[in-house]
Structure 1
Amino acid sequence: MSTERLVPQRERTADDRGHNDDCHERWLRLTNRRTGQPDYRDEWFDEQCGGCRSWIALTGELGRDWGACTHPGSAFDGRVRFEHDGCELFRIREDGSFG
């Protein structure tokens, strides 16, 4: 057993700018599709998570760019996704909204 003392982490909130920036950078590495990648297809631009009816935005500052996938058939179901990411199970929102 380690003799190191556990240092309690300070509580995080949805408006903790430093924490949000760290999450944003860390989570970007997990995206499925990046608009800057050479094999990014033009049709994917209109099929981004932020426009999918299965994407629900987070609250607070992170909710401006991040949400959870709720599509039961998606490999990303229950995972935090960048609004500009996407997958093959995209379903357009009937009201045409984004984010």
Structure 2
Amino acid sequence: MTPGELRANGEGKGEDEIHERWLRLLNRSTGDRGYRDEWFDEQCGGCRFWIALSGELGLDWGVCIRAGSPFDGQVRFEHDGCERFVARADGTFG
């Protein structure tokens, strides 16, 4: 991928490459043997402090804005999670 190919609106190349690279940074992967059942309902995509990115990447990725979270200001996968989770009041996800 060369500079300028990817656009915030998803009109560009490289989304798959970015997605795969960022997946290596997960805190909690639902596929890990140590994944706890109670974490399933505490995924980033259901947290009131998670804001989805725009475009194609926004289908799976957003930014954490939770003060005190180790991920504050970082891009997170919607199925990741942390101990600072707060459910959305309306119960929506993603």
TM-score (norm 2): 0.92
Shift of 1:85: 0.1
Tell me the amino acid that sits aligned with residue 83 of structure 1.
Answer: E
Q: What is the CA-CA distance between 1:16 and the residue it aligns to?
A: 4.3
1: distance between equivalents of 2:17 and 2:53? Answer: 16
Q: Which runs of 5+ in 1 are unaligned?
A: 1-7
Residue 44 of structure 2: aligned partner: 49
Gaps of 5+ in 2: none
Aligned counterpart, 2:3: 9
TM-score w.r.t. length of structure 1: 0.87
**What letter corresponds to residue 45 of structure 1 in structure 2?**
F
In structure 1, C-alpha distance between the alignment counterparts of 2:32 and 2:79, rounded to whole Å? 13
CA distance in 1, matches of 2:29, 2:79: 8
Between structure 1 and structure 2, the one with the greater Rg is 1
Taking only the aligned residue pairs, the percentage that are identical comes to 64
Q: Calculate the aligned-residue CA RMSD, in Å.
A: 1.4
